Structure 1
Amino acid sequence: MNEKLLRTLEFTKIIQQLEEYASSELGLEKIKQLKPATTFEEVVRLQAETDEAAHVLRLKGHAPLSGIHNIKPHVKRAVIGGVLNSLELIQTASTISAGRSMKRFVEDLLENEVDIPILEEKVNGITPLADLEKEIKAAIDEGGEILDSASDALRSIRQQHRRTESKIKEKLDSLIRNRNAQKMLSDAIVTIRNERYVIPVKQEYRAHYGGIVHDQSSSGQTLFIEPQVIVELNNDLRELQMKEKQEIDRILGVLTISVAEFADDLNRMVDILAELDFMFAKARFGKKTHSSKPNINKEGIIRLYQARHPLLPIDGAVANDITLGTDYSTMVITGPNTGGKTITLKTVGLLTLMAQAGLHIPAQEGSDVAVFKAVFADIGDEQSIEQSLSTFSSHMVNIVDILKHVDHESLVLFDELGAGTDPQEGAALAISILDDVYQRGAHVIATTHYPELKAYGYNREGVINASVEFDVETLQPTYRLLIGVPGRSNAFEISKKLGLSESVINTAKSMIDTETNEVENMIASLEKSRRDAEHEYEEAHDLLKNAEKLHRDMQKQMMEFYERKQELYEKAEEKAAKLIDRAKAEAEDVMKDLREMRLQSGASIKEHELIEARRRLEEAVPKVNKGKNQQNTKQENHDYQPGDEVKVLSFGQKGILLEKTSDEEWQVQIGIMKMKVHEKDLQFIKSEQKKETKPLATIKGRDYHVGLELDLRGERYEDAIHQVEKYIDDALLANYPRVSIIHGKGTGALRTGVTEYLKQHRSVKRIRLGEAGEGGSGVTVVEFK
C-alpha cells in the first residue's frame, strides 16, 4: 500500500478527518502512522478493538481520556539524571490521573458484566501510581507553580520573603507620599529594575535619595534609583529569592527521582493510553460517519450494503449495494461521464483500505470486506493532464507497473481502461488487460466508455457488467449502481429530449449496425426486467411483513388463550378439591354420629355395614380428570398419515397433519396456525381424506389481515358502528378469543354507542373497559363466547 495509492483513493483525507477525534498527542501520533494492515489476523484484531470502543461509546457516550501527555521524554531525562521542571512533573501527574481514571472506568464496566476483553487486557497493564501522583500534586498546582506546602523550608522562606517585601513597600510608599515627592519624582510609583524595587527620580534630585541607580529613561531625565534606606532590605529579599530557588530545585530533584523509580510503569502506561486514545478516536469517527463494523474474510468476497463514499455529505451521497468475489471476480462498469462510475470505484477501494486499517465503514451492518495483500488503482483525472498520447501514456505507465505485481491476493481498480487512444485499439487493449489480470486470480473493477466491453461480461465466466443509472426524463444521473446491466449511451433519447428533430435522429439510428441495435435493445430489456423485479420485490416484502405481523399476533393470542385456559382449569380444580374435602369431612361426621347412635341405643348396626356405607360415600365423590397428567399417558403407536385428525396434547387442541418434517416431527394445522409438533405430543383421533387447508389470510385475499385492535378515534359515529360490526365478524372468523376497540375518552358518546352495540351481539360473552396498562376508559375489551 504505497503513498501514491493512499492519496489516489483519498485515504490520506480520511486520516486528516480522523485526527480531529484524538484526545492527546499520543493518539494523534498513532493516527498519523495508521496504514492498512495486510494480514487477516491483524485486520480482525484492529476491527475488534474499534468495535469494542464503539460498544463502550454506545453504553456510556464517552471515555475519560483527557489530561494525557507524552511524558516518555520526561521519564527518559529523569532516568539519566536530569531534573524535571514543574510543568513536566505536573504533566506526569496528569497522565497518571488519566490512566487511573481509565482503569477505574473499564473496571466499572466489567462489574456491570459488559463484555470488553480487549479493554480489560489493556487496563490490566496500567499501574495506578496513586502515591506518586499525590506526591507531585501536593507540591505543584495545575498551573505548574510550586506550592508553599511543598516543604516546611519553602513555606518559611516565602513567609520571610513576604514580610521583607512588605517592609520595602512601606518605606517606598512613605517616600513617594512625602510633600517634596511630587517635585522630585517623575511619577509617584514603585517599580522594579534588575529584580530590585526602585522609584523614578528626576535627574537633578538624584543626590537627595542616595542609593544605587539601576536604569534611566530614554531621555535621561529620569533615573530609576534604589534609595539607600531600602538597599539592605533589597539585599535580604534577593537572598531569600536565591534560597527559594535552591529549595525549589531540591524539591524538583526529589520528585524527579520518584519519577525515575517508576520509569517502566510510566512508559507502559503511556503506550497503553496511546492505544486507548487511538481506539476511541476510531470509534468516535465511525459514529460521526454513521459507520458499522464489516465482516472480514480472506476469501476475496466484497459484499457492501448501502455503501457510501465517506468523504461525501451523508445526506447527499447515494448509497449502493456492491458485490464482488462471489459468482464473479471482475466487474465492468459502463455508462456516461459524470454518472458516478469513478465514485463507485473509489468507494470500493477506500472502504477496503479503511476496513484493513481497522476503521468502521459507511455501509449497513452485515457488509463483508476481504483482506487483500495489495490494492492497485489507476485512477486519473483526464481533465487535469494533456489529452491524446499523454493521457494514454500516463495510464499505461501505471498499468505496466500494476501488472508487474498483481496476483490472486490483489484488488485492482481501473478507471477508463484503455482511454486516450484509438477506440478500437483501446478496447482491444482493455479486454486483453482484463483477461490477463483475471487469469492471475485478482479481483478487478474497471470503468470504461467502450461499447465492446459491454459484451465482455457476457462472453467471460466470472465477469459481470454493471452501469450507473441515468434518468432520461430529467437528463441527470441517479448515481445508482446497477449490477448485471451494462450502461446505455442514451444519446438518441437525450437528443430527442433536448429538441433534436425526429428525422435527424432516425437517420442516425439507420447508421447504427444491427449488432449494436440488438445490444442496446437487450440492455433496455434488462433495465425493464430489473425495474419489474424491484417492484415485485417491494410487493413481496410488504406481504412478508404483513404475514409476520399476523403470525406474531396469532402467537400472542394463542399464548394468552392457553395461559387463560390453564388459569381457569387450575381454579376449577382448586374449587373441586375444596368441595371434595368438605364432602369427606361431612361423611366422617355422619359416620361418627352413626357410631354414637349405635352405642347409645344398642341398635343392631354392624361395623361392616358402616364400612360399606363409607365406601359408598367415597364412591359418590366426583372424580377430577387432571389435564396435565393426561398428557403423559402412554399413547398407542399409530402410523400417522397426512390428513389425519389429531389432538396436540400440550395445547389440548385438534388439528390436521400436513406433512412430516423429520423422523419424529410433523407440521400440524391448528385453526389458522401452522406449527411443528413432536410425534409424542400427538394423539390420533381419526383419518380423513387429505384436503387443502387455507389460512384465513389466503381465503380472504392476499393482503387481508385482522388486527388485534380496532382504532375508531376520529371516526364519525355512524361510520364507527359500521366498522365495529364488520370488525367483530372478521375477528370471530379469525377465531380470536379477545379483541380491543379503541374509541378514546372524549365526550363518551362513541364509547356508549359501541357498548350498546356489543351488548346486543349474540357472540359477545363479556365487555369491559381497559385497565391502566391497556388504555383505561378509552378502550373497550371484548371477549367472545
Structure 2
Amino acid sequence: MQHRVLDVLEFYKIKEKLKQHASSSLGKEKVDELMPSINVDEVQRWQDETDEASTILRLKGHAPLGGLKDVRAHVKRAKIGGVLSPIELVEISGTLYASRQMKHFIEELVEEQEVNLPFFIDYVRQITIYTDEEKKIKRCIDDNGEVLDSASEVLRSIRSSKRATEARVREKLESIIRSSAAQKMLSDAVVTIRNDRYVIPVKQEYRGAYGGIVHDQSSSGATLFIEPQSVVDLNNTLNQIRIKEKQEIERILSELSSIIAEHGDGILHNVTMMKEIDFMFTKARYAKALKATKPSINDGGIIKLYQARHPLLKQEEVVANDIELGEHYTSIVITGPNTGGKTVTLKTIGLFTLMAQSGLHIPALDGSVMSVFDEVYADIGDEQSIEQSLSTFSSHMVNIVDILKNVGDRSLVLFDELGAGTDPQEGAALAISILDEVMNRGARVIATTHYPELKAYGYNREGVINASVEFDIETLSPTYKLLIGVPGRSNAFEISKRLGLSERVIERAKSHITEDRNEVDSMIASLEESKKQAEIELKESNYLRKEAEQLHRELQQQIIEFNQQRDRLYEEAEKKAAMKVEEAKREAEEIIRMLRKMQKDQRATIKDHELIDAKKRLESAIPQFEKSKMKQEAEKKASRRKLQPGDEVKVISLNQKGHLLEKVNDGEWQVQIGILKMKVKEADLEYKSRPKPVEDKPLATVKGKDYHVSLELDLRGERYENALLRVEKYLDDAMLAGYPKVNIIHGKGTGALRQGVREYLKNHRSVKSMRFGDVSEGGNGVTVVELK
C-alpha cells in the first residue's frame, strides 16, 4: 500500500488510537509494525485472531498481561556474559510471571468454558514455564530493585555487621552533638553523610576543635562538614563492609544473570509469543471501544457494509450508512452539494478496507463483508502544491496519471471531486473518460462529483450506480445519510426560497434552466420519495415476516407436541393390549390344562354342564378394550348435533379450536386451525358453536381467527400499570383467537409484578384457572392461564 494513501485515509491515526489499548511496549511495537496485508489467508487469520481475543474479553472481561516487559535486550546481554542490574532482573521475572499466568489462563478457559481458541492455544503451547527461575529472582530482589538479605547467607551476615557498625558510628557522633560545647561550635545538631562517611557540621572558626578530616563545606564557607578523629576508624571499617556487600551483590547478580543466559532462547521465544498475544488483545480492546464486528473476507471485490460508522468521528454523532459495492455494480458515482458527507463516505470505505486487511474489526453491524485488494488508490482533498507550481487541477491529474499507470482488477479506487478545478464541460468529459478507463481495467471505483453530466453516467453504463447524500430542506442542512440508487440534485432554488429570496427572482432563474435539467431534477425528487417509501415498506414487511416466522415456529412446536402425545398414547395402548392378550393366553392355557386333566382323571365323557362352564371361561378370557372417555364423549356430542361447514369445533386430540371448511368423506372433515389446514376424523371433533350471520364491516376494523396472537405475553421490564393494560388487551385477543391456554411471562424479580398480575387474573372474566409454570415452562417466572 502507498504511504500517501495510508496518510490520506488517516490509517496512521487509527494506529495511534489502537496503540492506546496495548498493555506493554511489545504490543505498541507490534502496532507500529502493522501494515495491511494483501494475502487473503493471512487477512482471514488476523481477523480470526482478533475474534478469539474478543471472545475471551467477552467471557472473562480481562486478560492477565500485568508485568509484561520488553526484556529482549536484557536477555541478549546476559547471553553474551553481561551482568544484569536488579531492575532488569525484576523485569525478566515479571515477564516470566506474565507468560505463566497467560498460559494457565487460556488453558483453564478452554477447559472450563469449552470454548474453541485454536490460535491462542497454539501460542500458549509454545510458552515455556520457568517457575524456579522466576521464584529465585523474586527471593533475591524485591519489586523496587533492591537486593534482599535473603539472597544469600553471606549477604545477610554482611548487612547485619554493617547495621551494627553504622549504629556505633551514629552513637559516637550523637554523643558529640549532644555535648554542652556542641551548641556553640556546630551549625546544626545533626549527623549527615558526605562521601559515604558520617560527618557533623562544624562552624569555620572551630575547625580544630574536633580534629579529623574535612569532607565538604557549605556554599558560604561558614560551615565545614568534618569527620571527627574519634569515628575515622569506624567509618573505615564501615567502608570495608560496604565493599564486601557490593562484591556479594555482584556475585548474586552474576549468578542470576547466568541462569537467565542458560534459558535465554526459551525466554526470548516466550517474549515473541506474548508480543503476539498482547497485540491480539490490543485489537480486541479497540474493537470493543468502537463496538466493531468481524467482517466476512473475500477476494472477489465484494463490499457490503451495514450501518457503517467512520471510526475517527465521534461515535455518538456519526451517521451510520449501508454501502454495497462489487456484487451488482462495480462503481458508485456520488453527486450532491458540498459538506454533505460525500468525502466521509469515500474515506469510510477506504479506511474500512485498510482496517480489515490489517486484521482489525470494523465499526459496522454483524454480517458486513469486506474484500482484500492488492492496492487502494485515493485522490482525495485539495492537494494544491505551491512549491511545485501546481494548481488544484494539476495536482489531482498528477495523482490520477499515477493511478492509471498501476490500477488493475484487484484495485479499489477512490476519486474525490473527479475533474474539478477546470472548465465544467471539459472537466465532466474528462471525468467520464477516466471512470470508463478504470472500470475497463476491472477495478472497484467510488467517485464523488459536482457535475450534473455524471448523473446520467450511472444510467448509461452497466455496472455503475448513482448515489447521493440526503439534504434536509427544512433545516437547510445535510443529514449525511447515503442514498444508493438516487443521484444528488441541486437544492439551490429551495434553499434560496427558504432564506427569503423573492419568488419572482427564483422563477426567472428557473427559466434559464433547460427543460431537460428540470425533468432530471423532478425525476430525482421522485426517486428520493420512492426510496423513502420503499424503506418504510421494507421495515413493515420485515416485521410481518418475523411475525409469520414466529407463528410458523409455534405451529411446528404444537404439531411436534401432538405427534409426541399421539405416539405416547399409541405406545400405552399397545402395552395395555399386549398385557390383556397375555392374560387371556394364560387363562386359555389354564382351561385347556383343566379339561385335559378332567379327561384323564374321569376317563369318560365329560358332562355337558362342565363343557358349558369351560366355554364361558374361554369367552370371558377374550380381551375387551374400552373406548376412552374422551372418544365416548366426542361420539355422543357428534351424534347429538349434525356438523356443517363454518361450525366452530374443538380438535380433542390437539386441544385446539378451529373451523370446519368442508367434509372430505363420511368420517373426516377438513379443519382450519389458525393458518393450518388439516384432515380430522369426525369422532375427534367436539362441536362448540355455529356463527351467526353478521353485517359487513370494514376489513381493517375486524380481528378474526386469522389475526395472529402469540401463545405467550412477555411483561419483563414493564411498569406495573402498563403491564396490566397489556394483559387485559392480550386476554381479549387470545379469546378472539380461540386459545384455550396461554402463558404470561412476568419474571421472578422482586415478585411485585408477578403478584400484581396474578391478583388481576383471579378476577378476570375470561380466566378459568391459573397456575405457575413447571420447571420446563419457566417455573415461578411464568403463569399458565386456562381460558373459558
TM-score (normalizing by structure 2): 0.83
Instruction: For residues 621-659 of structure 1, give each alpha carbon's deviation from its aligned partner in whole angstroms, at most 9, with x where no partner exists.
Output: 43899xxxxxxxxxxxxxxxxxxxxxx9x9999999xxx
Q: Is 1:33 the counterpart of 2:37 in the alignment?
A: no
- Which residue number corresponds to residue 13 of structure 2? 13
- Which residue number corresponds to residue 781 of structure 1? 785
> 1: CA distance between counterparts of 2:734 and 2:77?
86
Q: Is 1:72 the counterpart of 2:72 in the alignment?
A: yes
Q: 1:489 aligns to what SS in structure 2? A: coil
Q: 1:488 aligns to what SS in structure 2? A: coil
Q: Is the 8 A contact 2:290 2:363 kept in 1?
A: yes
> 2: CA distance between counterparts of 1:160 and 1:311?
63
**Superposed displacement of residue 264, structure 1:** 0.7
Q: How does 1:378-777 map to 2 (within 5 A)?
A: 378-381=379-382, 390-563=391-564, 612-622=615-625, 671-672=673-674, 704-709=707-712, 714=721, 726-727=732-733, 729-732=735-738, 736-740=739-743, 745-746=755-756, 750-754=760-764, 767-771=769-773
Q: Is the 8 A contact 1:349 1:375 kept in 2?
A: yes
> CA distance change for structure 1 residues 703 and 619 in 2, over 3 Å: closer, same or farther?
closer
**Superposed displacement of residue 595, structure 1:** 12
Q: Is the 8 A contact 2:562 2:654 kept in 1?
A: no
Q: Is the 8 A contact 2:202 2:226 kept in 1?
A: yes
The code of the aligned residue for 1:544 comes to: R
> 1: CA distance between counterparts of 2:232 and 2:371?
81
- Which residue number corresponds to residue 353 of structure 2? 352
> CA distance change for structure 1 residues 747 and 541 in 2, over 3 Å: closer, same or farther?
closer
- Which residue number corresponds to residue 364 of structure 2? 363
**Superposed displacement of residue 352, structure 1:** 0.4
Q: Is the 8 A contact 2:419 2:430 kept in 1?
A: yes
**Superposed displacement of residue 721, structure 1:** 12
Q: Is the 8 A contact 1:154 1:244 kept in 2?
A: yes
**Superposed displacement of residue 486, structure 1:** 0.7
The code of the aligned residue for 1:77 comes to: R
> 2: CA distance between counterparts of 1:325 and 1:135?
61
> 1: CA distance between counterparts of 2:731 and 2:757?
22
> CA distance change for structure 1 residues 745 and 203 in 2, over 3 Å: closer, same or farther?
closer
- Which residue number corresponds to residue 629 of structure 1? none
Q: Is the 8 A contact 2:584 2:622 kept in 1?
A: no
**Superposed displacement of residue 768, structure 1:** 3.7
Instruction: For residues 678-727 of structure 1, give each alpha carbon's deviation from its aligned partner in whole angstroms, at most 9, with x where no partner exists.
Output: xxxx9999xxxxxxxxxx9999579922232579975999x999969854
> 2: CA distance between counterparts of 1:476 and 1:142?
59
> CA distance change for structure 1 residues 157 and 52 in 2, over 3 Å: closer, same or farther?
same
> CA distance change for structure 1 residues 779 and 83 in 2, over 3 Å: closer, same or farther?
closer
**Superposed displacement of residue 137, structure 1:** 1.2
> 2: CA distance between counterparts of 1:218 and 1:725?
96
**Superposed displacement of residue 569, structure 1:** 6.5
The code of the aligned residue for 1:159 comes to: S
Deviates more, 1:376-385 or 1:85-94: 376-385
**Superposed displacement of residue 587, structure 1:** 9.7
> 2: CA distance between counterparts of 1:218 and 1:211?
21
Q: Is 1:299 the counterpart of 2:293 in the alignment?
A: no
Q: 1:481 aligns to what SS in structure 2? A: strand
**Superposed displacement of residue 606, structure 1:** 8.9
Q: 1:235 aligns to what SS in structure 2? A: helix
**Superposed displacement of residue 670, structure 1:** 7.3
Q: Is 1:108 the counterpart of 2:118 in the alignment?
A: no
> CA distance change for structure 1 residues 751 and 281 in 2, over 3 Å: closer, same or farther?
closer
Q: Is 1:120 the counterpart of 2:126 in the alignment?
A: no
> CA distance change for structure 1 residues 729 and 267 in 2, over 3 Å: closer, same or farther?
closer
> 1: CA distance between counterparts of 2:722 and 2:23?
58
Q: 1:13 aligns to what SS in structure 2? A: helix
> CA distance change for structure 1 residues 541 and 654 in 2, over 3 Å: closer, same or farther?
closer
Identity %: 56
Q: 1:754 aligns to what SS in structure 2? A: coil
Instruction: For residues 318-373 of structure 1, give each alpha carbon's deviation from its aligned partner in whole angstroms, at most 9, with x where no partner exists.
Output: 11111111121111100011011000000000000000111000111111111111
**Superposed displacement of residue 420, structure 1:** 0.6
**Superposed displacement of residue 89, structure 1:** 0.8
- Which residue number corresponds to residue 763 of structure 1? none
User: Root-mean-square deviation (CA), in Å?
Assistant: 4.1
> 1: CA distance between counterparts of 2:516 and 2:17?
50
> 1: CA distance between counterparts of 2:135 and 2:781?
64
- Which residue number corresponds to residue 762 of structure 1? none
Q: Is the 8 A contact 1:291 1:360 kept in 2?
A: yes
The code of the aligned residue for 1:101 comes to: Q
Q: How many residues align?
A: 723
> 2: CA distance between counterparts of 1:722 and 1:103?
57
> CA distance change for structure 1 residues 701 and 15 in 2, over 3 Å: closer, same or farther?
farther
Q: Is the 8 A contact 1:591 1:610 kept in 2?
A: no
Q: 1:455 aligns to what SS in structure 2? A: helix
The code of the aligned residue for 1:108 comes to: E
The code of the aligned residue for 1:323 comes to: E
- Which residue number corresponds to residue 634 of structure 1? none
**Superposed displacement of residue 739, structure 1:** 2.6
> CA distance change for structure 1 residues 163 and 34 in 2, over 3 Å: closer, same or farther?
same
> 1: CA distance between counterparts of 2:570 and 2:463?
65
**Superposed displacement of residue 3, structure 1:** 1.8
Q: Is the 8 A contact 1:389 1:420 kept in 2?
A: no
> 1: CA distance between counterparts of 2:408 and 2:281?
35
The code of the aligned residue for 1:110 comes to: V
- Which residue number corresponds to residue 335 of structure 1? 336
Q: Is the 8 A contact 2:333 2:449 kept in 1?
A: yes
Instruction: For residues 55-78 of structure 1, give each alpha carbon's deviation from its aligned partner in whole angstroms, at most 9, with x where no partner exists.
Output: 111111111112111111111111
User: Which segments of 5 or more consecutive residues in structure 2 lack a partner in the other structure?
Assistant: 629-650, 660-669, 683-698, 747-752
**Superposed displacement of residue 221, structure 1:** 2.7
- Which residue number corresponds to residue 279 of structure 1? 280
Q: 1:63 aligns to what SS in structure 2? A: coil
**Superposed displacement of residue 779, structure 1:** 4.7
> 2: CA distance between counterparts of 1:721 and 1:393?
71
- Which residue number corresponds to residue 170 of structure 2? 169
Q: Is the 8 A contact 2:655 2:740 kept in 1?
A: no
User: Which segments of 5 or more consecutive residues in structure 1 lack a partner in the other structure?
Assistant: 626-647, 657-667, 686-695, 759-765
> 2: CA distance between counterparts of 1:172 and 1:713?
82
Instruction: For residues 233-254 of structure 1, give each alpha carbon's deviation from its aligned partner in whole angstroms, at most 9, with x where no partner exists.
Output: 1111000000000111111111
> CA distance change for structure 1 residues 452 and 609 in 2, over 3 Å: closer, same or farther?
same
**Superposed displacement of residue 397, structure 1:** 1.4
> 2: CA distance between counterparts of 1:655 and 1:473?
53
Instruction: For residues 289-318 of structure 1, give each alpha carbon's deviation from its aligned partner in whole angstroms, at most 9, with x where no partner exists.
Output: 010111110101111111110001111111
Q: Is the 8 A contact 1:731 1:739 kept in 2?
A: no
Instruction: For residues 503-547 of structure 1, give each alpha carbon's deviation from its aligned partner in whole angstroms, at most 9, with x where no partner exists.
Output: 222222221112212222221222222122112212212211222
The code of the aligned residue for 1:344 comes to: T
**Superposed displacement of residue 605, structure 1:** 8.0
Q: 1:499 aligns to what SS in structure 2? A: coil
Q: 1:464 aligns to what SS in structure 2? A: strand
> CA distance change for structure 1 residues 371 and 702 in 2, over 3 Å: closer, same or farther?
farther
Instruction: For residues 128-159 of structure 1, give each alpha carbon's deviation from its aligned partner in whole angstroms, at most 9, with x where no partner exists.
Output: 11121112111111111101111111111101
Q: Is the 8 A contact 1:769 1:777 kept in 2?
A: no
The code of the aligned residue for 1:172 comes to: L
> CA distance change for structure 1 residues 34 and 389 in 2, over 3 Å: closer, same or farther?
closer
> 2: CA distance between counterparts of 1:293 and 1:484?
27
Deviates more, 1:103-112 or 1:23-32: 103-112
Instruction: For residues 652-680 of structure 1, give each alpha carbon's deviation from its aligned partner in whole angstroms, at most 9, with x where no partner exists.
Output: 99999xxxxxxxxxxx99734559x9xxx
Q: Is the 8 A contact 2:309 2:321 kept in 1?
A: yes
